[in-house]
Structure 1
Amino acid sequence: MTVLKQNDPKSKKPSRGLSVGKLKSSHKTAKANTKSIVTGKKGGTVQVNAPKKVKAEEKVLLVETKQNWGGNAGSLEGKFDYITGLSSIVNKAMKGVDVQIFYTFANTIDIPDRYLAEILNTTARTLSNYKEQGKTLEPVKGEHLLKLIGLFKKGERIFSTLSEFQHWLSKPRMGSVKAPVELLVTPGGIDLVSQELDRIAYGYAF
């Protein structure tokens, strides 16, 4: 019978676990896989691209800007006198409203183009393109703009100045969480504000 010596390499039983070398190799592989998960590089079983930091687009909110408009407003007196009522507004809108009217109005009431464009549910870029291409506003947007101008003309008559009227527009009315300016984004909303101005003119405002 052959007796194995204690120091004989053949006498050692093979290890059932991982050797130190294999552990290091396994650690490196896991680290590489972790890196691939973060960076999305090849080498791991699962690839997940790290989320990119995207700068959110600036959202223009009327509620946030209403305090900073109209401070240097001029006067609409003697301007846009062809706006005499709903019939004149509709007829003008159907014929096509020159985009330059938008810019003249914005300059007079001292409101940035992008804010006024937002009220009309469009963008300053779109209106700029219309101007460059010589296009007129669509009837719906043209009517919206002309009704808005008519409202501001009425507001100036009642409050004496555009600045005072625009200050009134920026303040929520009693019993409402919305300021009148927030209603101007639709023609119907303009009608509601106009009715409120009539009540003020006749002393029935709340």
Structure 2
Amino acid sequence: DKAVVREQGILHITNMGAILFARDLKQFTRLEHKGLRIIIYNGTGRTNGGREQTGRLGYAIGFTKALTWLNERLPSREEITATRREEIPTYPVKAIRELVANALIHQDFTTSGSSPMVEVFDNRIEVTNPGAPLINVLQFLNHTPISRNEDIADVMKALDFCERRGSGVDRIVEECEKHFLPAPDFIRGDNSTQAILYAPRLLRDMSSRDKVRA
């Protein structure tokens, strides 16, 4: 009921309705830069960009499609058993799903000119959204989450695109442990929130900061 409003007998889509269900976000001035941007880099820096995609669909109808495009381009390893050959993703699919959903849900829509973004490097994945976190990043694991966009969060949860309230970061950490990955990192920027998933690395190659997070 918050996706549309009726004025003088005419139905108008709201910004919330558009960000969730629009067929083309470019048709909405305030939302044209809010599509999910995914960049696949070659190497560990940003100087050598590869493939890129910017979503134009509303989040509710474009989320699964965007994740499919992303996951198809992430690294994997091959495991061969006695009966079959299987491709095992380097990064946990459930953790990526949760991080991307969180970036969409918790972004600050008042920040103009920036969009939620996923950047894939050879050694990590960075997921960034506009808007500094509302709580200390060190409390993400044990603090009840606070969202700027409760109605959007409710719809995304109802569609089963993310975990129930309060369990998302726990699931991300748990999935990284199951895949023997370093602990994820959460970083507060001046006007952004960033989460980083790291590719597998040996203990001797981990920094002291990595070991503290673990």
Instruction: Give the number of the structure whose residues are more often strand, by fraction.
Output: 2
Instruction: Give the number of the structure whose residues are more often helix, by fraction.
Output: 1
TM-score (norm. length: structure 1):
0.25
